[in-house]
Structure 1
Amino acid sequence: MDTLTGLLDSPRARGAFLLRSVFDPPFALRIEDEAPLTLLTVVRGSAWVTGDDGDPTPLRPGDVAVIRGPRPYTVADDPATPWQTIIRPGQVCVTVDGRNPLDTMHLGVRTWGDRLDAGTELLTGTYRMDSAVSRRLLGALPRLLVQPGAAADRTLVRLLATEISRTDPGQELVLDRLLDLLLVSVLRAWLAAPEAGAPAWHRARQDPIVGPALRLLHETPQTPWTVAALAARTGVSRSALARRFTELVGEPPMAYLTGWRLTLAADLLREPGATIGSVARRVGYGSAFALSTAFKRERGMSPQEYRRQVTAEPDRHETAHGPLRVILPAAAG
């Protein structure tokens, strides 16, 4: 499985929260919704995104920001503008003095703010739950990733702006898929940009020795791989593969395989009707007991406990170790 495909394929956006916001300065929204991943784009006007580190980042028309949760952040016309509205978990919206602003600021389908032709228009798309398969990619994402408007896919942004206020049959599905496409567009640019902080395992896929080994591990995790077997398939010695793999990926081949198998298992455990035994076979463990032992050692809980937890509420644990923020370069021309 392509690792970028894994980000959105299991699960894809399902009933994502999408909103069009139109404001005149001054405005400041404090976002405390604990969402795992949010996309924010400016249609007109400008805005600033400020995390709790206090380092503000400007957004201009066409820019697309990917914001990794669950930490809070502020979207405002100016970093110095005091908070006016707070967005809490479940997209509960209150003013700083506890009132519900939607009573007076509702402007139509998925639209709120001061007035429809206000100076700043923002589109927000929020993923409500993590994908365990995407944990490695999400874990490497910066807290804020910005793709400039000159490099962004303006067609997708325009299409999302058109579709967000429509109520046609199947509209929720259309919006989910548009959000997915826009996210993939930004992530592909991030992964392709030199020195943009893409995870080591992604860069290593281009290596003539490590790349084939990574593809084998990703595509056939159920195979009883050993370093010797991987080396034989890639045409190098066992020691050469182990040394090169560890150097480029940051961990030995079998440690990487264990992490990938357990990441896949965590995602498969979300599927209705899946048994621990069937999941174990699909990810390369000989029995439910073997998977349970490895899962508990890695995640601190049994597969049964994990399943109960993710069924009860979305996974909001932060696992990222990437940089604080990345601003992608604008496309030439």
Structure 2
Amino acid sequence: MVTKVIKIDLNNIDEKKLLSAAEALKEGKIVAFPTETVYGLGANALDSSAVEQIFKAKGRPSDNPLIVHIADKEKVCELAESIPEKAAVLMDRLWPGPLTLVFKKSSIIPRIITAGLDTVAVRMPEHPVARELIRLAAVPVAAPSANVSGRPSTTTARHVLQDLDGKIEIVVDAGSSRVGLESTVLDITVDPPVLLRPGGVTPAQIEDIIGHIEIDKTILGKVSMDNIPKCPGMKYKHYAPKAQVTLVKGKDIIRQVEKICELAVDRRSKGKRVGICATDQTISYYKDYESKSMGDRNRPETIASSIFSLLREFDDMGVDVILAEAVDENGVGLAIMNRMIKAAGYDIIQAD
């Protein structure tokens, strides 16, 4: 199969170009497309055979549920058994956007979407190309991130092709994803609601609207492999480059730097090629190493938008080990640390 690339200008979205991708979705084929979070790998959510192709292309475990994407809020009534009041308020205030809500599923949702659970995760993306594609296809679209399972998520069409060229029908290319991390996932079937996965919408933003929410304990820790997760990104090793990632945590930034340099010397002595994930505030300390800045510690959104791309850049360089600085877990930092901890396979060293 030759993967077709459809380039779309965000400033002038050509509906005619998108029609072929929408027709492919209608016909039960899979299509990669941009969202504001990451690129998604989409299929008709109501077609089990089409959705099965997503799992095959990605090499994704069958007990890892998918998120269903819609182009208008009214579609939720068809996908969910009911819409709790808090969900309705969040939909009104934060949709479209990088927030996924977990509802009790309706009978039309295939079992393959939910991994056999009685819940379904639904999101209305903010990205205009994503919404237009879903609108033209006239079906809800199941879409995990468009990468090989376990690898860093894709934030450009080039990343998608690195992983899936020849395995999928079409890639819609509309440039880089703005947020750079997958959506926030909130389980709204319980009260108080539970944050299952942090993302571009922070816990504080949600609590400002609906009050107290709980934080799932697996966000910064391990989940039992015996459980079926309610949303993607909870159970398996995720977001990992080919190189081994070690995350260095510490309250003192300089101590973090010193520990990373110490580890870099040790890994080099063992014949390993080392890459260092620094920040704008610390990059100058690593002049003797192959280092790249993730972004500004004081503006964590800059780190969020670059982290997956950076991990892929280190793979392109051929490093064996990536030593990464941890960041504060406040706001978007919680989502960044969630992804970095899982990318490291929980290999964390305390600098203090």
Report the TM-score when normalising by structure 2: 0.27
Q: Flag the structure with larger Rg.
A: 1
- Structure (1 or 2) with the greater helix fraction: 1
Q: Whose relative contact order is higher, 1 or 2, with alpha carbons under 8 Å and at least 6 apart? A: 1
